[in-house]
Structure 1
Amino acid sequence: MTVIDVHAHVFPRLSQAEARVLGGPVEPWLRVLGDGTGMMMNGDQEYRPVRAPLWDAEQRLADMDTFGVDTQAISSTPLLFGYGAEPERAREWCELVNDRILDYCAQAPDRLLPLCQVPLQDVALAAEMATKAAAAGHRGVHIGNHVGSLDLDDAGITDFLAHCAEQDIPVLVHPWDMLGAERMNHHMLAWLVGMPAETHLSILGMMLSGSFERLPESLKLCFCHGGGSFAYLLGRAENAWHHRHVVRSDSPKPPSAYVRRFHVDSAVFDPRALRLLVEVMGADRVMLGTDYPFPLGEQQPGEAIRNCAELSELERDLILGGNAMRFFGTEAS
Structure 2
Amino acid sequence: MIKSFLLALSACATLLGAAAQAQESYPDRTIKLIVPSSPGGAADFLARIISPGLSHLLGQTIVVENKPGASGTIAGSMIARSKPDGYTLDMAQAASIVAAPYIYKQLPYDPSKDLAPVALVAKFPYILEVNAKSDIKSLADLVAKAKAKPGTITFGSAGLGTPSHLAGEMLQEMAGIKMIHVPYKGAGPASNALLANQINAVFVVSSSAIPMLKGKEVRALAISTAQRKASAPGIPTIAELGYPGFDITSWFGVFAPAGTPPAVIAKLNKSIAQTLKDPKVDEYFKRLAIDAGGGSPAQFAKFIEAEGRTAKRLIVGDKAAGAK
Higher relative contact order (CA 8 A, sep 6+): 2
TM (norm. structure 1) is 0.26
Q: TM-score normalized by structure 2?
A: 0.27
Whose Rg is larger? 2
